Chains A and B, each alone.
Chain A
């Protein structure tokens, strides 16, 4: 009996092909059962996300590859002789690959955590569909434990890497729970909309939108469940806000150190100012004020870059955990091959 991992991912196949092969979340169990129904496969799990479709198959080694690749070709609508940019791992290498996938090491955004939930869902559906057996049950449970270990013992998932997520994480570094934070959004364009939505989705309950064009402010406020404020009143209202998100289309800076100094002088709460406008809305000298933390696009990108670098530094530690835990758990003979 052998274990084969066969599939294609964002590293090996273009999106046009990946979307043809992809299996919807609701059909993962059915797909695994279909594979098992083919004589060569004793156990099967199908993992399919926007970045990868992978088959984990247990059976007789000589027949597994053909069964799996036929299945994928069929989904891609290709003939039996057509080439697919598949990768394949056998036994220990397949187990190792599953742990890397579940741990986020193979993800497009290194260390992302969503993949663990997706892998669990894939396994759960295959299990319910009766497509798994002793080998895959043990392997997947073991892989989930290792993925959790990777999460808890390394910094592979630490630090956001997108502008909106970095801004939200920085706000959490300053205030902790964002539930009692008031946020003012200056500007009502697309950038403001995206950032305001990201903040709202992370539990910022109190949002105020102010824009020169009042109708657009009202429109955005209605869309994100915020309050619209006349543009003339934003300076006064800022005294009561914790987060300022500036993204207007003004051709010059709107907020200067001298304007903000009296506002923050009597505060004991910090002010987090996010300036994502180009040209910038906030004079960089504002960052010199005590308890004002100003981040423009470059500053946010710097944090994102450092986060990515920190994640990459963790890869070796994650690999060591996988190797150690697989050895401690169940040893499968290592054999691996790449297939094009």
Chain B
């Protein structure tokens, strides 16, 4: 059942991405609630899938690559639903949908998809660490989306060739502000996740916590430089995109390592 719920979410995200791609290609952007509705429903179906998996697993559904990818996609859509209207970021859905689609597609891919299995009960600290860290990564993903939007508009403005998309994106300065806000909130979540993880593992480093700290340091440097006025928005946008790829890469590396150790 969780598979079918996740598949329905995938179909909705696909529809949203397809519409976004079609409109971007045609250079036309209708005001409407299709993206919001499609991605809102996808969020709800993913929540259903994760709830079912969590019940089977007996805890927070973060037990393997399938769980991680679905949880990440769910978090990204959740942040989009909150941040989109709050930050008045037009076209955010156009860029968020393909990212969520990519994560869901990989999660459901034959060979990657794993049925939920009952597992040994984990402590509350571990559950808090995992869920807060993944939510933070979802937040960084949305910051990366804002970063891509910034870089696109920056490129068009620098080249003196503002296309239809450029006239519809939020203004550059708003994108930079939204990016900074999103990074601070995500950094806060990741800080809490790391504290819970360290508490669980008695303040000892392990690959999971070390990679989380690595990502945390990356964004801390970016935010501190920005705060001190020493990092231009373009560099910050590049660091947001790079940081998210770093976070995603570290997740992948850890999962592979853990699977290899388990074998």
Given contacts A159-B167, A173-B166, contact A270 B161 (CB under 8 A): no
A295 to B159, CA, bound (A): 10
A-B contact count (CB 8 A): 70
- A290 interface residue (CB < 8 Å to B): yes
> Which of A73-81, A247-255, A261-269, A325-333 makes up part of the contact surface?
A261-269
Whether B31 pairs with A152 at a CB distance below 8 angstroms is yes
> Is A217 at the interface (CB under 8 A from chain B)?
no
CB pair A174–B229 under 8 Å, yes or no, is no
- B164: chain A residues at CB < 8 Å are 155, 158, 310
A173-B153, A174-B173 known; A291+B162 contact, CB < 8 A: no
* Chain B residues positioned under 8 Å from A172 (CB to CB): 171
| Pairwise interchain contact B232-A268, C-beta atoms closer than 8 A | yes
A34 → chain B closest CB, angstroms: 42
The answer to the question of A227 belonging to the interface, with a C-beta cut-off of 8 Å to chain B, is no
- B232–A291 contact, CB under 8 A? yes
Q: Mark B31-66, 1 if CB is under 8 A from A, else 0.
A: 100000000000000000000000000000000000
> A9-17, A190-198, A299-307: which lies at the B interface?
A299-307
Q: Which A residues are in CB contact (< 8 Å) with B28? A: 153-155
Query: Does B158 make an interface contact (CB < 8 A)?
Result: yes
Complex Cα–Cα for A71 and B110 (A):
78
In this complex, how many residues of chain B approach chain A with their Cβ under 8 Å: the count is 28
Tell me, yes or no, whether A170 is within 8 Å of chain B by CB: yes
Task: Give how many A residues have a beta carbon under 8 Å from the other chain's beta carbons.
Answer: 28
Q: Which residues of chain B have C-beta atoms less than 8 A from A302's C-beta? A: 160-161
* Minimum CB distance partner of A175 in chain B: B173
Nearest chain-B residue to A295 (Cβ)? B160
Q: Which residue on B lies nearest to A171, using beta carbons?
A: B171
Are A290 and B234 also in contact (CB < 8 A) when A155-B164, A295-B160, A310-B27 are? yes
- A176 at the binding interface (Cβ < 8 Å): yes
Residue A293, interface by CB 8 Å: yes
User: Is A162's CB within 8 Å of the partner chain B?
Assistant: no
B→A interface (CB under 8 Å):
27-28, 30-31, 153, 157-158, 160-164, 166-167, 170-174, 176, 226, 229-235
Chain A interface residues toward B at CB < 8 A: 152-155, 158-159, 169-170, 172-176, 266-270, 287, 290-291, 293, 295, 299, 302-303, 306, 310
Closest 6 CB pairs of A and B: A176-B171, A299-B160, A290-B232, A174-B172, A291-B232, A175-B173
A173-B166, A290-B235 given. 16 additional CB < 8 A pairs?
A: A152-B30, A154-B28, A170-B162, A172-B171, A173-B162, A175-B171, A175-B173, A266-B229, A268-B229, A268-B232, A270-B173, A270-B233, A291-B233, A293-B157, A293-B158, A306-B161
